[in-house]
A and B are shown apart, each in its own frame.
Chain A
Amino acid sequence: MNSAGFPLLSLIVFLPLAGALLVLVWDKRAHASIRGISLGITLAVLALTLAAVALFRPAEAGMQWEEHLPWIPTLGISYRLGVDGFSLFLLPLTALLFVIAVLASWKPVGSDEASRSAVQGYFFWLLLLETGVLGVFLALDLVLFYVFWEAMLIPMYFLIGRWGGERRAYATVKFFIYTMAGSALMLVAILVLGYFAYQSTGAWTFDWQTLRGLNLPWPAPLWLFAMFGLAFAVKVPVFPFHTWLPDAYGEAPTPVTVLLAGVLSKMGIYGFVRFGLQLFPEGLRTAAPWLAVLAIIGILYASLSALMQKDVKRVVAYSSVAHLSLVVLGVVVANAQSLAGVVMQMVSHGIYVAALFLIVGMLEERRGTRLIAEFGGLWKPAPLLGVCFLIAMLGAVGLPGLNGFVGEFLLLVGLFQSVRAYAVLGALGMILGAWYMLWTFQRIMQGPAEGRNADVPDMRGVDLLVMVPLLVLIIILGVFPNLILGPAGATIDALVGQAAAVAWLP
């Protein structure tokens, strides 16, 4: 099943690690070459992931390019990687956003002199983070998945804690403990699953494929799903486990926020589908009403909060929560349209939220503040910035023709077919989204440019380099969504089939 002839997936996962080690032994004063190495590595990973997309066989619904190496045979833990239509596009999304993050880190990152000059450490942790994230999306052994999931905590801890804003120490500890607490029960659930496998087959195993075939005695699927679900709910985040988000997103340096919102949040959605829907469909079905209620509260609460925010970064952060809660709702109802919407929106959201956070970063860089009240009329002195903000913002709002629309539409159609109320409330949330997004854009970009706002420099060079690819993708995916939905189609059908077999929601 190795159509590329060599371990493509392992290469994708561990190339950033190799880059990180290279950066570690490099001369720490050679900032330029360190950046160059990081850029080179992330571009190489991007190329590999695009190759994976190109070589993917869309007709197959199962895992491709599976790799299997025994790791700890006595406990049945093995090194297994694989990709299917569902996780396929998460790879280039991750790789692209890491390239963007490296480019966005070209100017020194950090709020004091010491951290700004600690370039080597920054890129070391960034590359290590990439390995962790890619490993999460590709791991097919539950313990391996858990190792990658938790291992991603250490780089994040340092990235926020050392290079973040003023309250970074508080934010990073909150993020770490919150996430670790959320995934603590997941570890126990994994062990219990391995034990069930041992009971029924006589051998410990943590292989996802094998565990899918287990017949778990009720009510095991329900509370196992709950234990897994808690970890994913913290990651996405789903109300009420979102309280770490405003601080972590707010205090993290811009490139890291881009990664948090664009990539790390997708890990939670991915987890809900890969380990929620596919391992415990009965559990998900039973917990569905509760999860749906939380998601809806999340949509409405986050949208209303976004309306109230004075800090533009927090507006985008809360809007991210709202949009992702809609995606979670799509996972919960699990029909053909909503799952297609989930796949589409995972990628779309990653792109437009990355673009939005980059814009926020540029605004902060130019004016030294993130308070909306301080901005105004920036379109005149910085029209390019305005255009980019406009496109990204409209993509988030879901204007037809841009990528946000496709995902949102599919999700709403899917919800409507399942429980009308969900669709109505979800749409309400999206309307609120349009409200706060347009209002924020108006307050920042339009009107008279007074005081320091009149001298704001426009985008140039590196700024354009990070924004243009994202904006191009926003437009292209909006017009040709089948680029994503096509290859993912077979897997989505399989997922739908599995969900339907468990007498889903009406």
Chain B
Amino acid sequence: MNIADVQVVSILPQMIMLAAALAVFLADLVWKDRKGIGLLALAGALVAFAAAAGMLAGSGAPTFQHMAAADRFALVISLVVSAAAVLALLISLDYVVRVELPAGEYYGLLLLAASGMMFLGAATHLMTLFLSLEILSIALYALAGIRTTDLRSGEAAMKYFLLGAFASAFLLYGMALLYGATGSTYLAGIAAAVPQKPADPMLIGGLALLLVGFAFKVAAVPFHMWTPDVYQGAPSSVTAFMSVGAKAAGFAALVRVLVTVFPALYAWWVWPVGILAVLTMTWGNLAALAQGNVKRMLAYSSIAHAGYILVGVAAGEAGVSGVLFYLMAYALMNIGAFAALIALERAEADAAGVELARMSGLFHRRPWLAAAMTVFMFSLAGVPPLAGFFGKLYVFSAAVRSGLMVLAIIGVINSVISAYYYLRVVARMALAGPAEEVEPARCLGLSIGTGIAALGTVLLGLYPTWLFNLVQGTLAVLFGG
């Protein structure tokens, strides 16, 4: 075939991320400066972000013979993932040195995972879907266990890998069933075939298995069992990136499949997705209430947030923009929260994650850090005028629009429940701290990362309009070419 048919430009952000990963691996062979490699990775992620932003004005025609798409949906996901990568890299620069992680592997795997996530957002073919998912998963499995001296890290990697492999198997089987039912592996082809045989058990079985596979990836209850241990055991900067990126990519694929391929079956899949949403929100919030370890609490809280996003997914096409907005807001506030934890993590005592007690008196010792953490906590709780509130507003209004008012009600009730444990952190920071205290880390990258996240959360809350406009009508035009 003609070389002109291969439109690499359309997947430029992903390619840049991939190239950066390879560059990091190569650089690690000769260059032993951990920070330098980190900066190289950061540069690559920034260029990828810029590429994704620059391509927003483009046409979004499907490419690679309909195996990938560069539509606005994929580009927004690329933006979210690359922004998450940039923030995660900023906060890793010092952390990698402090915890003595192997720099080349760490940064390379992170960028690889990011590229997998971005590919997943653009996938319009079952194989692309699966391959991207595997790229990001395997990179994340390795990243979870990259702190080789820590048993918890190894345990996290093992758990993630075993359960993830199971989920991938479910996903693959579901894809096989879909192919068997419709005769096509292209999402467009499946979408065309679905209306003709809506009650086909093979089709529904395939969809159900696909749901299971994706539910695992985004940590929906009851497929969430791996999340608390993996998030707590993995190094904090990895957790920060994982919690945001894997969710963004997972939700992107889920939404794309459900909304573009199975709109005819909406009346069927709204039930399992809605039930998943309720279970996930409620269980995540209730479990977080009981946590004394802030890192583990954030792990459960991210399960709860997956629940809120699932409410948006359950709203069908009306919820797509809400989901995208929420993912962007979530990226900022969640990575920010983890960044604050990283600043506090010192010594072996914190290997299991920062305990609540360590946050005592932070307002007196490091007021700006405490202020940033306050912003993240209130935003996660959904208090206006921060970004988290508008994410929830958007998602819940989509639910109301689709007639799912019950989900909205359960959602706001859960927000109130969650306020309790987020407030607990803020309250603890305001109390007086113990006399001797290890100083929280000061690192330029960490400060910049936390600052951008905090500022972003506040500004997105005050001026959400630009993002609202950006995520509007992204999946409206389905398969253009």
Contact = CB atoms under 8 A, between A and B. Distances in A.
Interface of A: 71-75, 114, 143, 146-147, 150-151, 153-154, 157-158, 161-162, 169, 172-173, 176-177, 180-181, 184-185, 187-188, 191-192, 194-195, 198, 204
Nearest to A150: B384
Interface stretch (B33-41, B209-217, B411-419): B411-419
Contacts of B225: none
B467 to A, nearest CB: 10
A162 B430 contact: yes
B468 A191 contact: no
A143 B393 contact: yes
A247 to B, nearest CB: 15
A238 to B, nearest CB: 19
Contacts of B430: 158, 161-162
A74 B397 CA distance: 12
Contacts of A185: 409, 412
B418 to A, nearest CB: 10
B396 A188 contact: yes
Contacts of B394: 75
Contacts of A71: 465
Nearest to A186: B412
Interface stretch (B154-162, B267-275, B400-408): B400-408
B448 interface: no
B385 A72 contact: no
Given A162-B430, A188-B396, A72 B464 contact: yes
Given A192-B400, A195-B397, A177 B420 contact: yes
Interface residues of B, number: 35
A461 to B, nearest CB: 32
The 3 closest A-B pairs by CB, nearest first: A184-B412, A147-B384, A191-B400
Given A150-B383, A184-B415, A161 B427 contact: yes
Contacts of A172: 427
14 contacts: A72-B465, A74-B468, A74-B472, A75-B397, A143-B393, A173-B424, A176-B419, A177-B416, A180-B383, A180-B415, A185-B412, A188-B412, A191-B396, A194-B397
A154 B383 contact: yes
Contacts of B426: 157
Contacts of B415: 180, 184
A151 to B, nearest CB: 5
Q: Which of B384, B412, B416, B423 lies at the interface centre, i.e. has the most chain A CB atoms within 10 A of its CB?
A: B384
Given A173-B420, A194-B397, A151 B383 contact: yes
B385 A151 contact: yes
Interface in B419-463: 419-420, 423-424, 426-427, 430-432
Given A177-B420, A181-B416, A191-B400, A114 B409 contact: no
Contacts of A146: 384
B338 interface: no
B409 A188 contact: yes
B468 A151 contact: no
A157 B385 CA distance: 15
A173 B468 contact: no
B330 interface: no
Contact of A180 (B416, B432, B465, B472): B416
B322 to A, nearest CB: 10
A172 B426 CA distance: 12
A267 to B, nearest CB: 15
Nearest to A158: B430
Contact of B364 (A74, A114, A177): A114
Contacts of A184: 412-413, 415-416
A133 to B, nearest CB: 14
A51 B23 CA distance: 66
A187 B405 CA distance: 11
B427 A192 contact: no
Contacts of B424: 173
A188 B383 contact: no
B432 A150 contact: no
Contacts of A154: 378, 383
A169 B383 contact: no
A313 B125 CA distance: 69
B405 A188 contact: yes
Contacts of A198: 401
Given A75-B397, A192-B405, 7 more contacts: A72-B468, A74-B321, A75-B394, A151-B383, A162-B430, A191-B400, A191-B408
Contacts of B2: none
Nearest to B469: A74
B141 interface: no
B106 interface: no
B420 A150 contact: no
B389 interface: yes
Contact of A173 (B378, B390, B427): B427
B389 A150 contact: yes
Listed residue (A184, A192, A198) with the most chain B CB atoms within 10 angstroms of its CB? A184
A191 B397 contact: yes
A187 B416 contact: no
B412 A187 contact: yes
Contacts of A192: 400, 405
A330 to B, nearest CB: 30
A188 B384 contact: no
B412 A195 contact: no
Contacts of B409: 185, 188
A150 B321 CA distance: 24
Nearest to B322: A75
Contact of B389 (A74, A147, A177): A147
Nearest to B430: A162
A290 B170 CA distance: 54
A187 B396 contact: yes
Given A73-B465, A75-B394, A150-B389, A177 B419 contact: yes
A154 B416 CA distance: 14
A162 B416 CA distance: 22
Contacts of B383: 150-151, 153-154, 180
Given A181-B416, A198-B401, A188 B385 contact: no
Nearest to A170: B427
A154 B378 CA distance: 8
B393 A187 contact: yes
Contacts of A153: 383
Interface in B114-149: none
Contacts of B465: 71-74
B111 to A, nearest CB: 34
B380 to A, nearest CB: 13
Contacts of A157: 423, 426
B6 to A, nearest CB: 36
A17 to B, nearest CB: 11
Which of A74, A150, A169, A185: most chain B Cβ within 10 A? A74
